[in-house]
A and B are shown apart, each in its own frame.
Chain A
C-alpha cells in the first residue's frame, strides 16, 4: 500500500514538472492568443476608433457585417475570387508536392542536386519577393509569347477545345494548368514535411510489401499513403491556411486596406466572415480525413 502511494508521488512530482514546462506558454496563450481572439470577435461587432486619449469601442451589432455584404461590392467579389483560386490551387499543391516528395525520396543519381533545388522555394517563397518575381517574369513570358495565358508556354486553350470538354471543366483545367508555375513555388514546405513523414515509415512495411509481390503503384497506395495520412492532414491544414492568408489574396488585401486606414471594426468583420468560410472548408477536409482514416485503418 505504501509503495503504491510513493509511486504515485513520483508520478505527481513528474506531472508537476510537466506543468512547469508549459506554464509560460499558458500565460502566453492567454495574453497573446485567447484574449485577443475574443477581443477580435467583439471588435467585429462594434465600431472601433483610435482617439487621442485611447481606444473607443462601441457595440453596433451586425452593422459591420451588413456593411461589408451589402455596401462594399468588392468584398463578395473578392471572396468569390479567392475561393475560386483555392478550389484549384489546394488540390494541385497537395498532389504536386506528394508526387515530388515520392520522387525525391527515392534513390536515383543526382538526388542531392534536385533536392537542394526543390527546397529553394522554402527559402524564397512565402514572402513578397515571389509575388513580385512571378508577376514580372510571367508578364514577360506573356509579352514574348503574345498570348493571354500567364505563365503557360503551350496553348492550353486549343488543346482543351480539341478534347471537347464542357466549358466549366475546361476553363477550370485551363486555370489550373496556367497557374502550375506559381503553384510549384508554394510546394516547398509541403515537400519537406512529406519527405520527413516518409522517412519515418518503417522500412519493414516496404519489405513486407516487396515480399508479398506488390507493385510500386500498390505499395504507394497501400503503404505510403496510409502511413502518411496524419502528415497529409498537417500539410492540408498548412496549405489551406497559407493559401487563405497569403499576401496577394484578394480578401486579405481588402481587409488590410481597412485595417491600415484604422477602420478596425469593418476590417475585423471581413476577416471573421472570411475565416468562417475557411473554417468550413477545413471542416470538409477534416471529414474527408476521418473517412479516409476509417477506410484505411481496417
Chain B
C-alpha cells in the first residue's frame, strides 16, 4: 500500500505543476472577463446618472441637436432654478425630515428592542410572533393602508375611545391625518415602513453575538434593559449603521404612505413624482427642452442629499456589510 503511494508521488508533482500552469492561464482569462463584465455593468449604472447630470444643465437650444450627446456645449442653470421652485424644495426637504426621517430614526430604535427580545429570550408565544414577523415582511404596506387611513382619521384605541364617547359624550378621537403621528406611531411600535425586514436583520446579528458579555452583566446585577443599552447597543454599531442606511433610504424614497396620509406639504419624493404635472400647469410642454432639463434637475436635487451622505459614509457602509452576518 505504502509502496504504491510512494511510487505515485513524482507523477503527482508534475501533474500538479502542469495543473498550476494551466490554472494560471485560465485565471488570467477569467480576470479579464470579470473586468469586462464589471465595466459593462458599471456603464449601465453610470449611464443614467450621467444622462441626468448632462440633461439638467443642457441649454434648451441644444436639446434636439443630434451632435450633442454627452457634454452640452452651452450650460445653463435655468433648469435647476425651475426645479427648485417646482419642487418647493426647502419646504419639501423640511417635510421629508419631519415626517420620514424622524420616523426612520424611531423605527431603528424600536426594531432593535423588539429584535433583542426575539433573539435572546425564550417565552411562550414566541413562535407565533416569529410567524407574524414573517407575515409583516410578506404583506405589502399597501394592503393595510386604507384601514390605516380610516383609523388615523379617528384614532381609537381598541374601541375604548368610542365607548367613552358613547357613555360620556367626550370625543377623544383625534384626526391624525396630515400630522406626523401617522408616520411616527407605527414606527414607534416597530411596525413602520418595512420594519419586518429591519427586525429580521437585527435578529440575525444579535443571534450571532457572543452571549458571554451579557451573561457577565446579568451576574453582576445589571437589569436586562441596562444590559441592552450599555452592552448590546455599543457592540452592534455595525448592524445599526447598515439598518440606518436602509431605513433612511426607504423612508426618503417613500411615496405611498405620504400620498395617503397627508394632502399638503408633501415630502420631496411626492413632489418629484408630480414635477411633470407641476411643469405642465406652469405652462411648460412636457418633453421639450426646458421641461426635460427641469425634470432632470429635479432628479439631481432629489438624489444629491442621499448621494452626498453615501459618498461620505461609503467606506464604512461597505465594511459594515461584511460584518452584519446574515445567515438567513
Contact = CB atoms under 8 A, between A and B. Distances in A.
B321 A126 contact: no
A132 B185 CA distance: 31
Interface string B62-96: 00001001000000000000000000000000000
Give the interface SS of chain A, mostly helix, strand, loop or mixed.
Answer: helix
A136 B296 contact: yes
Contacts of A43: 146-147
Contacts of B8: none
A58 to B, nearest CB: 14
Contact of A123 (B123, B136, B153, B310): B310
Contacts of B42: 114, 117-118
A18 to B, nearest CB: 2
Interface string A200-216: 10000000000000000
Given A36-B147, A137-B52, A117 B324 contact: no
Given A137-B47, A200-B325, A231-B328, A21 B116 contact: yes
A17 interface: yes
Contact of A28 (B137, B146, B186, B328): B186
A112 interface: yes
Given A128-B272, A137-B52, A22 B144 contact: no
Interface in B31-48: 31, 34-35, 37-38, 41-42, 44-48
A31 interface: yes
Contacts of A35: 147, 151
B11 interface: no
Contacts of A244: 140
Interface in A107-137: 108, 112, 114-124, 126-130, 132-134, 136-137
A126 B299 contact: no
Contacts of B141: 245
Contact of B144 (A40, A112, A129): A40
Contact of B318 (A19, A31, A115, A126): A115
B303 interface: yes
A231 B306 CA distance: 27
A200 B327 contact: yes
Contact of B326 (A39, A231, A252, A264): A231
A128 B148 contact: no
A264 B146 contact: yes
B64 to A, nearest CB: 10
Interface residues of A, number: 96
Interface string A2-26: 0000000001001111111110111
B48 A137 contact: yes
Contacts of B35: 108
28 contacts: A15-B121, A18-B118, A20-B224, A24-B188, A29-B191, A31-B158, A32-B185, A37-B144, A39-B147, A40-B143, A43-B146, A118-B42, A124-B303, A128-B269, A128-B272, A129-B272, A133-B299, A136-B292, A184-B45, A185-B45, A196-B242, A197-B326, A231-B326, A234-B326, A241-B137, A247-B256, A275-B139, A275-B143
Interface of B: 31, 34-35, 37-38, 41-42, 44-49, 51-52, 55, 66, 69, 110, 113-114, 116-118, 120-124, 126, 129, 132, 136-148, 150-151, 153-154, 157-158, 185-186, 188-191, 197, 200, 208, 224, 228, 242, 245-246, 249-250, 252-253, 255-256, 259-260, 269-270, 272-273, 275, 292, 295-296, 299, 302-303, 306-307, 310, 314-315, 317-318, 321-328
